[in-house]
Structures are given as C-alpha cells and as structure tokens.
Amino acid sequence: MELFEVISIGVIASVLFLLIKDKQPTIAFLVVLFTVIYFFLFIMQYVQEILRLIAYLGERANINSVYIKTILQIIGISYITEIGANIVRDAGLKSVAVKIEMVGKVFILILAIPIFQSLIETIINIFPIT
C-alpha cells in the first residue's frame, strides 16, 4: 500500500510539474524538490532497518566495524550525490551536476583509502616481498 502512495505522489507531482513548468518554472521546480525530499524522508525508515541488519550481520561474521561503517558511508555518499546532482540537473544546471558527481567520487576515494591500504597490507603479509 505504501508503494502505491509513493507512486501516486510521484505521478501527481509529475503532472503538476508539466502543467505549470512553462508559466511558473520556479514553483514547478519546488514541486519537484519537495517531492524528492518527501521520498527521501519516506525511505529513511527502511534504510535504518537495512543498516541495522547489515551491522548485525557484520557483528555475526566478525567483520571489523570500521569496514562496514566505511562501506555504508560510501553507499550513502553515492546516493546523496546522485540525488543532489539530479535535482541540480532538473534545474537545468548540468555543469554543476557534473561537479557534484565529481566531488562525490573524490569523497568516496578518500573513504576507500583505508580499505585499500588494509587490502595491500594483507596481500603483502600473505606473499612477503623478499
């Protein structure tokens, strides 16, 4: 039933956007922005459940919580970056959207460095260089 609600709001917002975009582009953009914010807030309850499950499974598998936290941060950055870039792209600022995506990718690389470092150290310990 909740899926029907989300789809209905999306369809209504889309129709409203199409009806007013030529006469009131600012209001049309705000309709899109508020719809995206609603979707984001709506989905957060499910994301929290997924995060709890991932943390639980990581504990059960004896995976270092730093790795799980880092991977979840990377996933979060990618989603937030995509949402932000799409909002800016919808506003007609494609060049800014590309820059937002680039910044998101750099942040992901920064977060991934400790995982890469640990991986390299593990490989070196398994196959010592003589």
Three-state DSSP string of 71-93: HHHHHHHHHHHHHHHHHHHHCCC
Q: Which two tokens stand for residue 23?
A: 């006469």
According to the model, what pLDDT value does residue 23 have?
93
According to the model, what pLDDT value does residue 126 have?
86
Q: Is the pTM of this model over 0.95?
A: no
CA distance 23 to 43: 32
Torsion of CA 2, 50, 86, 67, to 10 degrees: 180
According to the model, what pLDDT value does residue 118 have?
85
Backbone angles phi, psi at 115, to 5 degrees: -70, -45
Query: What pLDDT, in 10s, does the model give residues 42-91?
Result: 988 888 899 889 889 888 888 888 888 898 899 999 999 999 999 899 88
Amino acid, res. 97: A
pLDDT at residue 129 greater than cutoff 80: no
Query: What pLDDT, in 10s, does the model give residues 20-35?
Result: 989 998 899 899 889 9
